[in-house]
C-alpha cells in the first residue's frame, strides 16, 4: 500500500466515491427538502478513513431553522451544518468574525453534493471570496489583551517546576494556543483549533510556527519549557513585546 493510500492518522483511506455517495444518501434521507449540500473536511479532500466523520453543510429553505446537528448514519458520525439560504450572509459574517471560518471552509473548499437550482454554487463563491479576503484584524484592545494573556502564561510556564507536570503541561497548551492565535492574526491568516491549529499556524508562519510546535513537544517529552518560552517571546516581539504592568481592561457591562 503506497503513501497515497494512507491517511494522516496512519489508517487506510476510504474509497472517495463511496464516501461521496454515502454523504449524498445522508442528504437525501434526512433532508429531502434541501436546496443543496456540500461535503467538507477530510472526506472532500480524499483523506477520509473508515473512522472519519463526515462534515456536511446543507442549505435549507428559509422556513427552516439554522443549527448544527450530529447524527450517525450507516455507522458513521456525521456533523451537519444547517443554514437557511436567506441567513447565509449574516452567518458567514459571524463565522468570519471568529477568525476560524469553520463553515466558510466547508463551503469554500468542499465538494458539491447536490445543487439543483444553483444556490450552492453562489454560496460557495461567496465563501471563497470571504476566505480570500481573510479574517478581520485584531482591534487594539484585542491585541493588548492577547499580549497580556500570553505574557501571563509564558511567565507562569517559566516559573513552574518541571516536577509539577500537570501544571506545566496545561500551561504549555495555553502558551501554544495563545501564540497561535496571535501569530495567525499578525499575518492576517485564519486560525484554528484541534488538528487545525498546527496546520493553520504552519501555513501562516512556517518558521515561528514550527518553533512553537517543537517547543510544545519539548515540554511534553523532556519537561523543558525554555524553547517554547523563547518562541512565545518571539511571538510577543511581533506585536510590541510582553505586556505586564500598564495593562488595563474594563469589565464587561
Under DSSP, is residue 52 helix (H, G, I), strand (E, B) or coil?
Answer: coil
**13 vs 21, more confident:** 21
My answer on whether 118 and 155 are in the same domain is no
The rounded percent of the chain whose pLDDT value lies above 90 is 85
- Domain assignment present for residue 101? The answer is yes
The helix/strand/coil state of 15 is coil
Of 111, 133, 155, the residue that ends a domain is 133
**What is the overall mean pLDDT for the chain?**
93
* pLDDT mean over 204-214: 98
Q: Are residues 81 and 149 in the same domain?
A: no
Q: What is the pLDDT of residues 38-58, one digit of tens each?
A: 999 888 888 777 778 999 999
- Kindly tell me if the per-residue pLDDT of 103 is higher than 60: yes
**pLDDT band at 14; cut points 50, 70, 90:** low
- 198 and 77 within one domain: no
**128 shares a domain with 10:** yes
Task: Please state, in angstroms and as integers, the Cα–Cα distance from residue 25 to each residue in 22, 54, 55, 138, following that order.
Answer: 5, 12, 13, 41
Tell me, yes or no, whether 188 lies in a domain.
yes
Instruction: Say whether both 129 and 144 belong to one domain.
Output: no
Same-domain pairing of 201 and 121: no
Residue 53 maps to a domain: yes
Please give the order of strands across the beta sheet that includes 54-60: 67-73, 76-84, 54-60, 36-40, 111-114
Does residue 247 form part of some domain? no
Residues 7 and 119 in one domain: yes
Q: Looking at the structure, tell me whether residues 163 and 124 fall in a common domain.
A: no
Q: Is residue 20 included in any domain, yes or no?
A: yes
Residues 11 and 125 in one domain: yes
Co-location of 114 and 157 in the same domain = no
As for how many domains the chain has, the answer is 2
Domain identity same for 12 and 107:
yes
Q: Which long-range contacts (CB under 8 A, 24 or more apart) does 83-91 make?
A: 83/57, 83/58, 83/59, 84/59, 84/60, 85/35, 85/59, 85/60, 85/61, 85/119, 85/123, 86/62, 87/62, 88/59, 88/123, 88/126, 89/126, 91/66
Establish if 248 belongs to a structural domain: no
The residue-averaged pLDDT of 102-124 equals: 97
What CATH number is attached to the domain comprising 38? 3.30.460.10
Number of other CB atoms surrounding residue 140 within 10 Å: 8
CA 83/CA 61 separation, integer angstroms: 8
pTM, entire model: 0.88
The confidence score (pLDDT) of residue 153 equals 98
**What tens digit of pLDDT does each residue of 153-182 get?**
999 999 999 999 999 999 999 999 999 999
Domain range enclosing 183: 140-238
Report, in angstroms and rounded to the nearest whole number, the Rg of the chain calculated over CA atoms. Answer: 21
Residue 83 located in a structural domain: yes
| Boundary of a domain, candidates 133, 151, 174 | 133
Q: For the segment 69-100, what is each residue's pLDDT rounded down to a tens digit? A: 999 999 999 999 999 999 999 999 999 999 99
User: Where does a domain end: 133, 157, 188?
Assistant: 133
Domain annotation covers residue 252: no
Residues 61 and 112 in one domain: yes
Amino acid at each position: 500500500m503506497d503513501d497515497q493510500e494512507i491517511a494522516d492518522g496512519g489508517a487506510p483511506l476510504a474509497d472517495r466515491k463511496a464516501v461521496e455517495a454515502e454523504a449524498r444518501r445522508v442528504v437525501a434521507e434526512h433532508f429531502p427538502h434541501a436546496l443543496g449540500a456540500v461535503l467538507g473536511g477530510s472526506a472532500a479532500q480524499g483523506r477520509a478513513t473508515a473512522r472519519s466523520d463526515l462534515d456536511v453543510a446543507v442549505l435549507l429553505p428559509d422556513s427552516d431553522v439554522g443549527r448544527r446537528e450530529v447524527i450517525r448514519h450507516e455507522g458513521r458520525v456525521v456533523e451537519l451544518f444547517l443554514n437557511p439560504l436567506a441567513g447565509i450572509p449574516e452567518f458567514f459574517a459571524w463565522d468570519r468574525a471568529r477568525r476560524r471560518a469553520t463553515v466558510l471552509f466547508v463551503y469554500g473548499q468542499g465538494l458539491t453534493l447536490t445543487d439543483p437550482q444553483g444556490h450552492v454554487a453562489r454560496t460557495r463563491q461567496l465563501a471563497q471570496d470571504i476566505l480570500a479576503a481573510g479574517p478581520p484584524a485584531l482591534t487594539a484592545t484585542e491585541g493588548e489583551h492577547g499580549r497580556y494573556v500570553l505574557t501571563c502564561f509564558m511567565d507562569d510556564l517559566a516559573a513552574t517546576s518541571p516536577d509539577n507536570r500537570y501544571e506545566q503541561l496545561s500551561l504549555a497548551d495555553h502558551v501554544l494556543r495563545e501564540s497561535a492565535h496571535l501569530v495567525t492574526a499578525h499575518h492576517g491568516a485564519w486560525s484554528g483549533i484541534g488538528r487545525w491549529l498546527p496546520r493553520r499556524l504552519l501555513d501562516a508562519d512556517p518558521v515561528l510556527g514550527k518553533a512553537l510546535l517543537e517547543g510544545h513537544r519539548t515540554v511534553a517529552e523532556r519537561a523543558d519549557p525554555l524553547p517554547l518560552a523563547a518562541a512565545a517571546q518571539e511571538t510577543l516581539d511581533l506585536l510590541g513585546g510582553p505586556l505586564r504592568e500598564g495593562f488595563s481592561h474594563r469589565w464587561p457591562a
